[in-house]
Structure 1
Amino acid sequence: MKVLAIDDQKLVLIPLASRLKELGYEVLTETNANKGIELYNSFQPDLVIVDINMPMISGMEVVKYIRETKKSSTPIMVLSGNTDDDIITEGFDLGINDYMKKPLSLVEVCARVKRLIGVPVSDTKTVINKDLIIQQRCVGVVIPCYNEETRLLSKEFTDFIDKNSGYHLCFVNDGSKDKTLEVLNNLRKGREDFITVYDCEKNGGKAEAVRQGMLYMAKQEDLDYIGFLDADLSTDLTDFDDLVSTIENSNYKIVSGSRISRMGADITKESARKIISLSINFIIRKILKMDFKDTQCGAKIFHKDVIEISFAKKFVTQWIFDVEIFRRITLHFGLEKAKEMLCEQPLKRWIHADGSKLSMKDSVKIIGQLGQIAMHYRSKKNTSLSERVNKSMEANFFELNSIKEV
């Protein structure tokens, strides 16, 4: 029995095709709807699985081609994040056999395939992972790595992508001097469709590693959102997935994790580090003119259309590039619009990891780096920056220099 699956997101097709093949079906996949129609004619499938929202032509055009042009009764199953009642009604009016809304369980998809076209004869013993969910969005995650040979929690990363479709992890080796690159390449084996290792020969610092990884992932056409996460998983992947859910179901362009202590959350910090963080945050809020509680959390997710604005140019500082990102967004869109685009979401869990690369001495240096940021973006020529904002930044800079002790 043959199945043709058409979806513009490769990360959705890979686990779907893999599971159907395990069950004994012959499966072909295509990310281009026009080519999918060509495959339909040559492959002559027993079932077509198609998404609705695709570029070029929609999945509904594929349905019309099969039903109206070819006059075929081939069973058609729609898997889509489109929940518009008119679209669903149109689909059934055209003669689709099933409509499933993403996100959905891969087990349920396979059960409905069996109901539509039966079960192929197969001697293959399958192991069904009942937790795997087909998502309606695809996400790239950049993880900067420097000398992480002994700290990288490889199993936590692989377990997550094995259970969560639609994720592609990009580990950026930032010129590590230990065996980090070897560890990352071993981590990628067998999961090449879901894990990329981006190797920087020279150490450029976290800011540049993240920037390079974000720009690289932005070139992948099937990703909707791209974010970054610390390699030590002080913010775990489940919490990161919550940030993705927020940006997916809102009009925000950036959702940033926040390590705010609150009831029901597991947030731990070193006491001395906490005091320094509060001092730094006070200055940051003055520079940004936003009431951010925690700009420096290493877990953030971005809508793809603000990646170029946020990461195209190199950052002025190494550790507090997050502040520069928010400043760039403000300069490009204006303060009020930026406030509407940015969301700070408290995390359920954040644990300070031993072996942090940021020392207390570095933390003190950050205050000086904030002065660099204020100066750089105050004098920077930007066509979208009005004179009013220039004056505002100048006032912030002088206010920053007037702070003798926090």
Structure 2
Amino acid sequence: MKILTIDDQLLILLSVEKRLLELGYEVKTADSGEKGIEIFNDFKPDLVLVDINMPGITGLDVVKHIRVDKKSDTPILVMSGNTDEKIIVDGFDLGINDYMKKPVSLDEMAARIKRIIGAPTVVKESTSSATTGEGGRMLQKHCVGVIIPCYNEEDRLSGPEFKSFAHKNLGYHLCFVNDGSTDKTLEVLHELRKGHESNISVYNCEKNGGKAEAVRQGILHMMQDEQLDYIGYLDADLSTDFRDFDDLVKTIEGSQFKIVSGSRISRMGANITKESARKIISMTINMIIQTILGMPFKDTQCGAKIMDREIASTMFNKKFITKWLFDVEIFMRMRKFYGKEEAKRIICEQPLKRWIHADGSKLSMKDSVKIVGQLARIAVSYR
């Protein structure tokens, strides 16, 4: 049985192709509506699996070609993050057989395909989700790039956690930025990437430039990948875990915010722990930051943020003046670029459900004192 799958986001397309091949289907893929139509005419598939939101020729245009131009009754299954009721109804009016809303699991996708056209005549061995490890893998609504800056992290990097997340959450691309590490971090990162080359990459900065420049270089690198809808960053020690980061992504997906920033401010039911002395220093620094910003954000320094491509391109095009306080600079740049009131409207500060201070922090108590001087530089530079 032959399946044509059409999606402009390669992270999704490759994952779907891999799973369908494992199930025993013959598969061809297209990363645009134009290519999809061309392949359909020659391939004559038994089922077409298509996304709706594609530039140029959309998924509905493909459906029209199949149903109206070709007068074909080939089963069509739409799999899309578009939840607009009118679009869905239009799809069924045109003659689609089913509509799956992302996020959706590969297991559900496979079950719906089997319901429509049946299982392959020749099923490959060991293709159940239990034997392939595909069970629970999710196709995301949007494609997300995540920058993880690393400096001398060989002893703290949790390879299994990163690999597990990359394996289960299709549509995420993890980009580790080695910030001129002097230990074996780069070797560890290359080892971590093995087996996940399609959605884990390593960007190497030969010289240490500080976290601000590492994140900036990583974001500029990931901006070249046009399939990414959102780009964010996360600390390598996973003090903010992936469950909370995924919640940040869900917030920006369902809102008009342009950036969603995690907040470690304690709240009832949250598992947030921190050394008492460090906590007092942080509270003092946060008060100074709020004064400089003139906006009511309580934890700009949290190392977990997600943003749309507009923010990534406009706020990271120039170097930051500090190595560690670039989060504050991002907010200051947004205030200067959009105006204070608009900046307050498009920035969301979302409390984390869990956050644990990890041992081995790169910032010493002496560095904390220097921060005050750096904040003064920011205040003057962005005045």
TM-score normalized with structure 1 length = 0.92
Partner of 1:221: helix, strand, or coil?
Answer: coil
In the alignment, is the contact (CA less than 8 A) between 2:144 and 2:229 conserved in 1? yes
Alignment-derived partner of residue 21 in structure 1: 21
> How far, CA to CA, are the matches of 2:346 and 2:52 in structure 1?
27
* SS of alignment partner, residue 136 of structure 1: strand
**In terms of mean alpha carbon deviation, does 120-129 or 205-214 score higher?**
120-129
Pairing 1:282-321 to 2, within 5 Å after superposition = 282-321=287-326
1:5 aligns with 2:11: no
Q: 4+ residue runs of structure 1 moved beyond 4 angstroms?
A: none
Q: Deviations over 1:294-345 (max 9, x none)?
A: 1101000011111122110000001111000000001000000000000101
Match of 1:180 in 2: 185
Deviation at 1:130, TM superposition (A): 2.7
Report the AA paired with residue 73 of structure 2: S
Which residue number in structure 2 is paired with residue 68 of structure 1?
A: 68
Partner of 2:91: 91
Is 1:34 aligned to 2:39, yes or no?
no
Deviation at 1:137, TM superposition (A): 0.6
Aligned residue identity for 1:190: G
Q: Distance in 2 between matches of 1:67 and 1:178?
A: 59
- 2:101: which partner in 1? 101
> Per-residue displacement from partner, 1:41-70 (whole Å, max 9, x unpaired)?
122211100011111111000001011111
- Provide the residue aligned with 1:191 in structure 2: 196
Q: What is the rounded CA distance, in whole Å, between the counterparts of 1:344 and 1:84 in structure 2?
A: 27
Whole-angstrom distance in 2 between the partners of 1:369 and 1:3? 58
Q: Which residue matches 1:384?
A: none
1:233 Cα offset (Å)? 0.3
- AA aligned to 2:270 is A
C-alpha RMSD of matched pairs (Å) = 1.0
Structure 2: how far apart are the matches of 1:260 and 1:89? Answer: 43
1:195-274 residue pairs with structure 2 within 5 A?
A: 195-274=200-279
Total equivalences in the alignment: 378
Q: Which residue of 2 aligns with 1:358?
A: 363
3-state SS, counterpart of residue 36 of structure 1: helix
> Is structure 2 residue 127 aligned with structure 1 residue 122?
no
- Aligned identity (percent) is 67
Structure 1 stretches lacking a partner, 5+ long: 379-406
State the distance in 2 between where 1:90 and 1:327 align: 44
2:165 alignment counterpart: 160
Deviation at 1:198, TM superposition (A): 0.2
SS at match of 2:188: helix
Q: Give 3-state SS (helix, strand or coil) of 2:318's partner.
A: coil
Deviations 1:246-292 (CA, angstroms, capped at 9, x unpaired): 11111000100010111111111111111111111111111110111
1:328-367 alignment runs, 5 A limit: 328-367=333-372
One-letter amino acid of the structure 1 residue matched with residue 301 of structure 2: Q
Indicate the SS of the match to 2:170. coil
The match for 1:374 is 379
CA contact (8 A) 2:212 2:326 kept: yes
Q: Which moved more, 1:8-17 or 1:312-321?
A: 8-17
- The whole-number CA distance in structure 2 between the counterparts of 1:123 and 1:157 is 29
- Does residue 276 of the first structure (1) align with residue 277 of the second (2)? no
CA-to-aligned-CA distance 1:355-389 (integer Å, 9 cap, x gap) = 110101101100000000011112xxxxxxxxxxx
Q: CA separation in 2, counterparts of 1:265 and 1:123?
A: 46
Equivalent-residue separation in structure 2 for 1:162 and 1:270 (angstroms): 34
Question: Which letter maps to 1:327?
Answer: M
Q: Which amino acid aligns with 1:58?
A: T
Counterpart Cα distance in 2 of 1:26 and 1:336 = 54
Query: 2:156, 2:28 → 1: CA distance?
Result: 40
Structure 2: gaps (5+ residues) = none
For residue 192 of structure 1, what is the amino acid of its counterpart? Answer: E
1:198-257 alpha-carbon deviations (Å, 9 max, x no partner): 000011110000000011111111111000000000001111000000111110001000
Counterparts of 1:225 and 1:86, CA distance in 2: 25
User: What secondary structure, in the 3-state scheme, does the structure 2 residue paired with 1:165 have?
Assistant: strand
Which amino acid is 2:13 matched to? L
Letter aligned with residue 85 of structure 2? D
Partner SS for 1:137: strand
What residue number does 1:390 align with?
A: none
Q: What is the CA–CA distance in structure 1 between the aligned matches of 2:123 and 2:100, rounded to whole Å?
A: 26
Greater Rg by CA? 1
Tell me the SS of whatever aligns to 1:202: coil
- The answer for the alignment partner of 1:132 in structure 2 is 137
Q: Answer whether contact 2:23 2:124 (CA < 8 A) is retained.
A: no
User: Within 2, Cα distance between the matches of 1:258 and 1:122?
Assistant: 49
SS of residue in 2 equivalent to 1:171: strand
